[in-house]
Amino acid sequence: MKNISKYLGSLAVLLLCLACGDNMVEKGPIKRSGQADVISLDDDWRFIRYGLQADGTRVEEPAGMFEPATDDSDWETLDVPHDFAIKGPFRMDLAGNTGRLPFQGIGWYRKTFTVDEADQGKRFYVDFDGVMANAQVWLNGEYVGTWPYGYNSFRLDLTPFIQVGKENLLAVRTDTEKWDSRWYPGAGIYRHVWLVKTGQVHVRHWGTKMETTNLTEKTADLHFTVEVENHLNEETQAVVKTSVYELDSLDCLGKRVLRFDDQTLPLKAMSAGKVDLQKQMDDCKRWDIESPNRYMACVTIQVDGQETDRYYTPFGVRETSVSRDGFFLNGRRVEIKGVCNHHDLGALGAAFNRSALERQFRIMREMGCNSIRTSHNPPAPELLDLADKTGMLIMDEAFDAWAHGKREWDYNKLYEEWHEKDLEALVRRDWNHPSVVFWSIGNEVLEQQNVEMTRHLVEIVKELDKTRPVTNGYNDPNGGRASGASMALDVMGVNYFFYEQAKWDQDERYKNMPTIGTETSSCLSTRGVYFQGDTIRKDFQITSYDVDAPGWGCNPDTQFATNYRYPHLLGEYVWTGFDYLGEPTPFNSDNTNLLNFRTDPSKRAELEKQLAELARTQPPSRSSYFGIVDLAGFPKDRYYLYQSHWRPDYPMAHILPHWNWVGREGQIIPVHVYTSGTEAELFVNGKSYGRKAKEEGKDFRLVWDSVVYQPGTVKVIAYKDGEEWAKDEIQTTGEAQKIQLSVDHASIIGSEDELAFVTATVVDASGRKVPTACLPLKVEVTGCGELVATDNGDPTSFTPFQSAERESFNGLALAIVRGKKGTTGKMQVKVSGAGLESASIEIEVK
Ligand code: GAL
């Protein structure tokens, strides 16, 4: 059904197009940039796992799995995006840094598809948005090609092997036994797959580039290049027609705003050429954070009056620049209030899902975050589409390693043969996104002092795109500066080590260089967990007072003070926005942690001892504590600290900890308040604990250290400029009595793989969240929906994400649901728990 609707979708697109580049008006959303004649190959794959199995045993991989004759009838049937490791199980014998999940193994995927007789004479390509890792591809038993780096998108040419009018068999082998990582990478075809059809003369893959320059209030110069390939064995002439349309947030074209002059491009047999188009655009609406206006350049290629290709290039009109004094968007200084995020989507693993990412963006945006660093690799293409649509700025990062790996099977094994291809693929794929404002060539790579290599990689980028600054994330900024490697960059990226900024500001060579916190803070906490006195870590959880960080990190407040002290810094990317699978520092024995103390032997020795101890004791943690938001997407307290600082005009106050301290009556419980106000007064059961004020640039939270616990109510009234500004109140609750459900979307589109995120809150008789409730819950989905995963944000839980049984963790649990394939109607999600009044919620599937 899904397949049929996709075919119908592209048919509808064709029918509704009245001549592109001429007076084309396409109704309905455009699903994808690039070639217009594209079909999703996501559905109905056959899958089998060889090599290392989930339980640690091995199943030898037979030969010839790509042969059409191989019987795959008993393989699993599934749709991609698919991550074959997220099912687990979590295993204590597997490394914490990769989430204690069995990601290593060999995946075989096979899919059949038919190509119409009418397509005789066309060219056919398969586009993989990302395959983890070492993808090898066959069509009808013939080897088509490979792309080893799991994070890049790639295209392979199927034309020589395709059977028109017949069934074709696409076979893909993935190999994560020869891949390792400092975090959970996922495994398999974890992003979308597309079949692309074109005529013999067509736009090159990622072959259009739009640059917008000389912006005035209303106008901009558009410079658009189109690279065209001729696959005919004869000379030909391609007519390139290009129009620009408005593009709305639903990806529908609006009115045509500009038409470039048609170009006739002579092309020799089996060759390529390029046209350069320039025109001033009048009345243009700029792309900006609050007004992410987009346009679409539509190109058609015609040969002898016949259309041979149509190609879509979404873009935005905007201008960026960097200087020592900051990052500028459309001439305005914008402080980067950013987060680093890994690619996994929590309980969904690495398998890409648009609604999960949209939820992440909504949560980040609400916090005041305006930028994401795609640490430490190219993101799913949809992440950039979403960033374009919502006005999020992106630092697009290529690598975590160059020629020297941090782990044995790291990018080092690919660097020599692949780094140029990988970097080119990243830049070409992403260069039209207005949201992409920085390129990053690496993160804490071992060769960060190497002048030659840095220059070489920067040159690869600049050769393709001169409009964006290039950076690199340093954890040895002194080394990078001393060797001169940083001179090759436009922006100096510093991870954590800002304590020498005053010295760097005096350094003749570097004092005028734009500098950004490519990674900051690394504060650690578990949502809803608080310990008293000096206890910061206990039972593999970390207090949520937001005071803990590894040796190289600091609490958010310290970084805010640094940014205040050095206002010329471009801003920061906090490590991290969301918790992620793997790297459960400080319960992570991975020796690559030592790389953070390259130049400090005593700190290194101390950490070495801790890591040895962790390796011996093997804590059960399997996901990170760094997130401002937990793995299930529930904000931790820190979320409100960032919100208070990043959204100074948004009235808010947030009290921590909770106020359910049975047995601690009469004892001191420190109370912290995060507020965008400048002062606040705290009341416990009506008694004032006094009014406190923040000293600008020094205090970012208000602390009442001597509050004596008595059950009841804690209330804060925040003030700004002497006026009442915001309030917050928490209360001691009664026992857990019931479950309350809420959902982020009351209706979802089943055929689009939309997900709904249902939050279960354990509440007392008066409906107040019980912040200490860790109780077994059960999720049942009936009607036309199904359960995809559950989570609660506990980094030590070994319950599989697919389980319908999940404990609430400090009052909250999450159920992720979707519509059953091929159905529309309603689904009911019911959550129950022993001794609790259960709750149900209805979701429409369209
Ligand atoms: C950095 C590293 C990140 C992450 C972080 C944890 O050094 O670049 O990938 O490991 O430390 O604090």
Q: Would the CA dihedral through 252, 40, 347, 379 be positive or negative?
A: negative
Determine if ligand 1 sits within 6 Å of the CB of residue 575.
yes
Q: Is 677 in the pocket of ligand 1 (CB under 6 A)?
A: no
What pLDDT is attached to residue 20? 52
Contact predicate 246/24, CB 8 Å: no
Active-site residue (options: 26, 229, 358, 444): 444
CB of 522 shorter than 6 A to ligand 1: yes
- Asked if the domains 39-198 and 320-324+334-617 are classified in one and the same CATH topology, the answer is no
The CB of 519 under 6 Å from ligand 1? The reply is yes
**What is the number of the ligand 1 atom nearest to the C-alpha of 473?**
8
Q: How far is the CA of 489 from the centre of ligand 1 (A)?
A: 21
* Rounded-to-integer distance, Cα 422 and Cα 415, Å: 9
Atom of ligand 1 nearest to the CA of 376: 9
pLDDT score, position 531 = 85
Name all contacts of 506-514 with Cβ < 8 Å and 24+ positions apart: 507/481, 509/481, 509/484, 510/481, 510/486, 511/324, 512/323, 512/324, 513/324, 513/486, 513/489, 514/322, 514/323, 514/324, 514/326, 514/327, 514/469, 514/490, 514/570
pLDDT of residue 11: 39
CA 594–ligand 1 middle distance (angstroms): 11
* 444 is a catalytic site residue: yes
Predicted model pTM:
0.96
| Topology (CATH) of 738-845 | Immunoglobulin-like (2.60.40)
Q: What is the DSSP string of 92-117?
A: TTS-GGGTT----SEEEEEEEEEB-G
Which pLDDT score is estimated for 26? 65
Any catalytic annotation for residue 290?
A: no
Element (H, E) at 459: helix 451-464
Does the beta carbon of 475 sit less than 6 angstroms from any atom of ligand 1? yes
How far, in Å, CA of 305 to CA of 60, rounded? 55
179 lines ligand 1 (CB under 6 A): no
Q: Which of 229, 519, 572, 844 is catalytic?
A: 519
> Would the CB of 81 count as within 6 Å of ligand 1?
no
CATH of domain 661-730: 2.60.40.10
Taking CA atoms only, the protein residue closest to ligand 1 atom 4 is 575
Q: Mean pLDDT of residues grouped by 10 in the chain (846 residues)?
A: 39 44 66 96 98 98 98 98 98 97 98 96 98 98 98 98 97 97 98 98 98 96 98 98 97 97 98 98 97 98 98 98 97 98 98 98 98 98 98 98 96 98 98 98 98 98 98 96 96 94 92 96 98 84 97 97 97 98 95 86 90 91 98 98 98 98 95 98 98 98 97 98 97 98 95 93 98 98 98 98 98 97 95 98 97
Q: Which of 444, 604, 623, 624 to mutate to test the pocket of ligand 1 (most atoms within 8 A of CB)?
A: 444
- C-alpha 188 – ligand 1 centre gap (Å): 25
Q: Which amino acid is at 680?
A: A
Q: Is 521 in the pocket of ligand 1 (CB under 6 A)?
A: no
CATH for 39-198 is 2.60.120.260
What separation in Å is there between the alpha carbon of 583 and the centre of ligand 1? Answer: 9
Measured in angstroms, how far is the CA atom of residue 488 from the centroid of ligand 1? 23
Q: Separation of 519 CA from ligand 1 center, angstroms?
A: 8
Give one DSSP letter per residue of 811-833, joined into a string.
TEEEEEEEEPTT--EEEEEEEEE
Q: What is the atom index within ligand 1 of the atom nearest the CA of 444?
A: 8
**Where do the structural domains in the chain lie, given as residue ranges?**
39-198, 320-324+334-617, 661-730, 738-845
- Rounded to the nearest whole angstrom, what is the distance from the C-alpha of residue 77 to the centroid of ligand 1? 37
Ligand 1 pocket check for 517: Cβ under 6 Å: no
Calculate how far, in angstroms, residue 562's C-alpha sits from the geometric centre of ligand 1: 19
Q: How far apart are CA 63 and CA 297, in angstroms?
A: 46
* Residue 589 alpha carbon to ligand 1 centre in Å: 14
The verdict on the CB of residue 185 being under 6 Å from ligand 1 is no
**Ligand 1 pocket, 443 CB below 6 A?**
yes
pLDDT of the residue at 15: 39
Question: SS3 letters for 543-559?
Answer: CCCCCECCCCCCCHHHH
What residue type is assigned to position 740 of the chain?
Q
Establish whether residue 548 lines the binding site of ligand 1, counting it when its CB lies within 6 angstroms of any ligand atom.
no
Question: What is the per-residue pLDDT for 24?
Answer: 52
Indicate which residue's Cα is closest to atom 7 of ligand 1.
596
User: Which of 183, 446, 520, 596 has most ligand 1 atoms within 8 Å of its beta carbon, as the pocket-test mutant?
Assistant: 596
Q: Which atom of ligand 1 is nearest to the CA of 596?
A: 7
Beta-carbon contacts of residue 129 (< 8 Å; ≥ 6 apart): 153, 191, 192, 193, 194, 352, 380, 381
Q: Is the C-beta atom of 495 inside 6 A of ligand 1?
A: yes
The sign of the CA dihedral 329, 335, 337, 338 is positive
The highest-level CATH class for domain 320-324+334-617 is alpha beta
* CA-wise closest residue to 232 among 271, 286, 180, 284: 271
